[in-house]
Amino acid sequence: MKVTITDVTTGTTVTTDTFSGDTWCNSVSHSYNSPGWKGHQLKLKFSAVLANTLTSVKVTNVQLWQQVTN
């Protein structure tokens, strides 16, 4: 599974993480310091190529937040 953030305004895509195998117990967090996204529309995308028809994908507890820093 690949997780990407796309700046819709500029078309720039950042891959935040790539998972393979069983990752059910993983907790992942990423932080980006002002990469020019102010006032831009962002798109978060989860994509995967499943190994077979018995494979299941479950994504839970996605949180997006902004923090103002000086």
Per-residue pLDDT tens listing for the chain (70 residues):
788 889 999 998 888 877 766 655 566 677 776 668 888 898 988 888 777 788 777 777 787 777 776 6
Instruction: Count up the domains in the chain and report the number.
Output: 1
In the chain, DSSP finds a helix count (H) and a strand count (E) of 0, 3
pTM summary value: 0.64
Q: Do 58 and 22 touch, CB atoms closer than 8 A?
A: no
d(CA 29, CA 20): 17
Tokens of 13: 């895509």
Identify any residues that bridge with 2 across adjacent strands, giving them in sequence order: 18, 47
Amino acid 67: pLDDT: 73
Domain that holds residue 35: 1-70
